[in-house]
Amino acid sequence: MSKLSIRDVRKAYGATQILAGLSLDVEEGEFVSLVGPSGCGKSTLLRIIAGLEAQDHGTISIDGKPVDPLPPKHRQIAMVFQDYALYPHMTVAQNMAMPLIMASLPWHARLPIIERMHPLARRGRPAVEAHILETARQLGIDHLLERRPAQLSGGQRQRVALGRALVRSPQLFLMDEPLSNLDAKLRTQVRKEIAELHDSSKLTFVYVTHDQTEAMTLSDRVAIMQAGRFLQVAPPVTLYEDPDNVDVARFVGSPEINLLPAQVIDQRLRIGDQLLDVAIPASASGDLFVAFRPEAALLDGNLPQDGTRVSGALDFNIAGVEDHGADLILHGTLATEPSVELRLRAHKTPGGQTPNLRVGGRQPIRLIREGLLFFGADGKRLRGPTSTPSMAPSTATISAPLSKKVAAL
């Protein structure tokens, strides 16, 4: 039985459809991210899971029980908000005590002034304080308990928000872009802390973000959303290496995947004015897109000696070189007619020589066969057995180009 089950959830605001019938199962202890551009409905879905908004159609179940009629406080969830939503007039300790007080005291004991002297509130206070101290120690914020949110840094506020969520001992941990208000360095650090929290707490997480790095590094599975639909729900590596459609392929990975318009003619791939002998899925025909990641190209024109299967050499005109330290990102065009823009990645090896890559230069490249992905004109992935070109058993070669220009080497 899955921890969280979303069944055909739909939501519209007036005539605008936000969620178009979503279904998803999240297993116990799993970390699932909802990723997509702004306006794709990911936050709305999270708010519906939390019970802060009602869906028009469909069911949300937690632990196998439908929770649709339940208010947020009875769903055994905790939520961390983008702006942390700490109560600015309360100290850190009071912020963290809020869910405990609300759950443990009857309404008349929670009224202002009365709360200070009500016997129930007084009796419960030591337990509440102990609970808060324990959680605060876990998160390393026990020295901040008497401060107010205004006196805290962004990272500290973030931790207080986590603390307030944790004291509830939730079944399900919901996070709505919790890192987007932090600077880059802190973001990496808190990201690591969230991963550790997930490992140590064994809780089930649903995490909304527009940052693919967060989603890829934190998640067991990532749900890519667009226009109120799931494009693909899969582990990060699968999304990167084996995307179901062009939108997923383009969304995941930075720099973006290279997408080349191509045609299949006589079991051969034609890119611009060049013909390329590579393995082509049996279902491929006519116009399609061939895609490959920036690192799926060899940057010297030589044939590899280790048996990697590559295409024939293609000429790449270098228009820009970005040195990222560990690797180089090259921008440029493929010397076909018409030309296609490419982004390539060249890894630097310590002590090794950097290939002679300079702006304005021309570099023969070979595409690694296993890195080639085929998409139909409708954007759907073309899979299935590939037909191996008969001409070359281990390497594909450029056959006679259509134009006067021949790819050198």
Partner 1 sequence: MTAAATTLARTQQRLAYALAAPAALLILAIYLVPIILVLVFSFTDFTLVRDGMSFVGLENYRQMAEDENFGNALRNTLIYAALFLPAAFVIPLVLAILIQERQRFRSVLEVLFFLPVTSTLAAMALVWAALMDSKQGIINVTLNSFGLDAINFLGDPDIVLFSLAIISVWSIIGFNMVLFLAGLTAIPPSLYDAAAVDGADAPLDRFFRVTWPMLGPTAMFVAVTSSITAFKLFDTVALLTQGGPDRASEVFLYLAFKEGFEYFNMGYAAAMSFAFLLIVFLFALFQTGSTDRRVRY
Q: Which residues bind partner 1 (CB under 8 A)?
A: 47, 50-52, 71-73, 77-79, 81-83, 85-90, 98-99, 102-103, 107, 110-112, 148-150, 164, 168
258 phi/psi in degrees, rounded to 5: -85, 135
Of 110 and 118, the one with the shorter C-beta distance to partner 1 is 110
Answer yes or no: are the C-beta atoms of 108 and 188 closer than 8 Å: no
Of 176 and 277, the one with the shorter C-beta distance to partner 1 is 176
CB of 202: closest distance to partner 1 in angstroms? 21
CB of 91: closest distance to partner 1 in angstroms? 9
Of 71 and 384, the one with the shorter C-beta distance to partner 1 is 71
How many C-beta atoms lie closer than 10 Å to residue 191's C-beta?
19
CB of 52: closest distance to partner 1 in angstroms? 5
Q: What is the side-by-side strand order in the sheet with 172-176?
A: 77-80, 172-176, 204-209, 31-35, 221-226, 229-234
Strand partners, 7: 59
Of 105 and 330, the one with the shorter C-beta distance to partner 1 is 105
Of 71 and 140, the one with the shorter C-beta distance to partner 1 is 71
How far, in Å, CA of 291 to CA of 278, rounded? 13
Helix axes 154-166, 92-104, angle to 10 degrees: 20
How far, in Å, CA of 362 to CA of 350, rounded? 24
CB of 376: closest distance to partner 1 in angstroms? 42
CB of 199: closest distance to partner 1 in angstroms? 24
CB of 88: closest distance to partner 1 in angstroms? 5
Of 112 and 307, the one with the shorter C-beta distance to partner 1 is 112
CB of 208: closest distance to partner 1 in angstroms? 14
Q: Which residues of 161-178 are buried (b: 16+ CB within 10 A; e: fewer)?
A: bbbbbbbbebbbbbbbbb
Tokens of residue 244, six digits: 């179901």
Of 148 and 380, the one with the shorter C-beta distance to partner 1 is 148
Distances (CA, A) of 406 to 266, 278, 313, 315, 394: 20, 18, 10, 9, 21
